[in-house]
């Protein structure tokens, strides 16, 4: 048993943190202002483009990719502490080309894609020249229940013809392609019904209805509603084999959830730092906030909850690395629930410590709070993960 990071990881942590200090945090406000001043809220602000170029030059790039051919060859438990640091800023993950949903898409392209797919879709993403989206969730059915998927892809000659209705296809507004989850064989067993197919952004029938307004915003890549209407793509755009859709989705979700959790811990650390700084300087009713026992309790509880969540995430990553994705399913469900709930509590306390400033956008806390709420829903709501965890536990105690 050893809780220490390796020297390589320590060195990378130091470098990523220094880059954040120098280039990311100081430009958060500017990035926001550039978006606000732009006539296209979906366009990447120039300062972010600039930061990304610098990170790439410095080799602080594509840490998420475990495959040494494509990335840095870091295992999940080595990447996790870096991912946490990036997560401390809304523009952090993007700075290092480690932003969702692209990371997940790049991973499955690397793992399941053909050589041709690697060339055409994966490489531009790794080079930071193309963005992506993952088109799975449907408005009419519960995404966590795979048997309900309705979008259809019908083989027609050398093509697939896709029809269906999706939403929350995050990032579609500026994606080069979507990876679409569609039923290819309705008669197959539940987990073999669907496949994943690459749909280039300009394809006729790939109709973005709107970026669904989420927490008052439609900007960035958008959480898009899309109608696939006789959308025809070559059969070579199939990822893996027909019927592999759910297996690939699972392969995508494991690391994806861990990454989300690590970023979330970064968010919580940032919020706690800001809360402490505020408490150290705000005087009211006879003392600094830092000297009041209720504020102290919030800070202590936040520290405990953050540290506990980090250890759980590190453990899940380590188990995934040593025992495999499938064996680590329960650990991943646990951190999914734990991190998403933890961060909301920490952010809520940080808001309250800031008073009126806490609900304003003069700190990043209120934005983190709005954005993080979705984490209890995406990639499977709390309730579905808790059900899965409970069933495994209950099964242990059946005679």
Q: Which is nearer to a second copy, 116 or 291 (CB)?
A: 291
Could you say which of 43, 303, 325, 345 contacts a second copy (CB under 8 A)?
303
Sign of CA dihedral 215, 218, 221, 226: positive
Mark 148-187 with x for binding to a second copy (rule: CB under 8 A) and - for no binding: x------------------xx-------------------
Q: Name which of residues 62 to 121 contact a second copy (CB under 8 A).
A: 77
Stretch that binds a second copy, among 14-22, 193-201, 252-260, 305-313 (CB under 8 A): 305-313
User: Does residue 376 touch a second copy according to CB under 8 A?
Assistant: yes
Place of tokens 């990335």: 71
Query: CA 46, CA 335: separation in Å to the nearest integer?
Result: 35
CA–CA distances in Å: residue 113 to residues 105, 116, 120, 241: 10, 8, 10, 10
Q: Between residue 233 and residue 252, which ones bind a second copy under the rule CB under 8 A?
A: none
Q: Contact letters (x/-) for a second copy, 191-230, by CB under 8 A? A: ---------------------xxxxxx-----x-------
- If one asks whether residue 312 binds a second copy (CB under 8 A), the answer comes out as yes
Q: Please choose, out of 39-47, 121-129, 199-207, 277-285, the segment that lies near a second copy by the rule CB under 8 A.
A: 277-285
CB 62 within 8 A of CB 73: no
Q: Based on the shown chain and the rule CB under 8 A, indicate whether residue 387 belongs to the binding site for a second copy.
A: yes
* Smallest separation, CB 61 to a second copy (Å): 23
Note the residue count of the chain: 399
Short-list 263, 246, 344, CA closest to 88: 263
Taking CB under 8 A as the rule, does residue 343 contact a second copy?
no
Half-sphere exposure of 51 (CA within 13 A, CB side): 26
Using rule CB under 8 A, residue 394 touches a second copy? yes
Q: Which residue number, 188 or 323, has a Cβ lying nearer to a second copy? A: 323
Q: Two tokens at 4? A: 């220490």
Interaction residues for a second copy, span 38-67 (CB under 8 A): none
- 384 cis-preceded (ω within 30 degrees of 0): no
**DSSP-derived secondary structure letter, 190:** G
CB 174 within 8 A of CB 131: yes
């Amino acid at each position: 048993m050893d809780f220490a990071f390796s020297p390589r990881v320590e060195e990378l942590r130091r470098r990523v943190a220094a880059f954040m200090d120098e280039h990311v945090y100081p430009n958060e406000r500017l990035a926001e202002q550039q978006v606000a001043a732009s006539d296209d809220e979906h366009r990447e602000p120039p300062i972010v483009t600039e930061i990304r170029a610098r990170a790439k030059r410095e080799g602080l790039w594509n840490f998420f990719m475990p495959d040494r051919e494509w990335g840095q060859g870091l295992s999940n438990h080595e990447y996790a502490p870096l991912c946490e640091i990036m997560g401390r800023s809304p523009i952090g993950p993007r700075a290092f080309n480690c932003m969702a949903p692209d990371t997940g898409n790049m991973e499955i392209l690397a793992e399941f894609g053909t050589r041709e797919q690697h060339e055409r879709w994966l490489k531009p993403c790794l080079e930071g020249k193309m963005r992506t989206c993952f088109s799975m969730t449907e408005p009419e059915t519960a995404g966590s229940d795979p048997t309900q998927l309705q979008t259809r892809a019908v083989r027609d000659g050398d093509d697939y013809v896709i029809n269906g209705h999706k939403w929350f296809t995050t990032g579609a507004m500026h994606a080069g392609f979507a990876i679409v989850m569609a039923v290819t064989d309705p008669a197959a067993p539940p987990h073999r019904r669907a496949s994943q197919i690459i749909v280039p952004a300009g394809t006729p029938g790939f109709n973005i209805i709107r970026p669904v307004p989420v927490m008052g915003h439609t900007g960035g890549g958008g959480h898009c509603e899309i109608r696939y209407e006789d959308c025809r793509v070559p059969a070579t755009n199939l990822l893996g084999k027909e019927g592999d859709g759910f297996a690939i989705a699972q392969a995508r979700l494991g690391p994806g959830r861990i990454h989300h959790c690590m970023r979330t811990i970064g968010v919580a650390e940032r919020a706690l730092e800001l809360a402490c700084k505020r408490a150290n300087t705000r005087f009211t009713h006879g003392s600094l906030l830092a000297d009041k026992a209720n504020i102290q309790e919030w800070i202590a509880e936040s520290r405990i909850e953050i540290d506990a969540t980090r250890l759980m995430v590190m453990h899940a990553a380590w188990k995934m690395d040593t025992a495999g994705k499938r064996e680590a399913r329960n650990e991943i469900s646990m951190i999914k629930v734990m991190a998403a709930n933890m961060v909301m509590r920490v952010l809520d306390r940080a808001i309250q410590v800031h008073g009126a400033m806490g609900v304003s956008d003069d700190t990043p806390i209120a934005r983190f709070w709005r954005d993080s709420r979705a984490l209890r829903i995406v990639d499977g709501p709390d309730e579905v993960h808790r059900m899965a965890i409970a069933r495994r536990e209950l099964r242990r105690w059946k005679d």
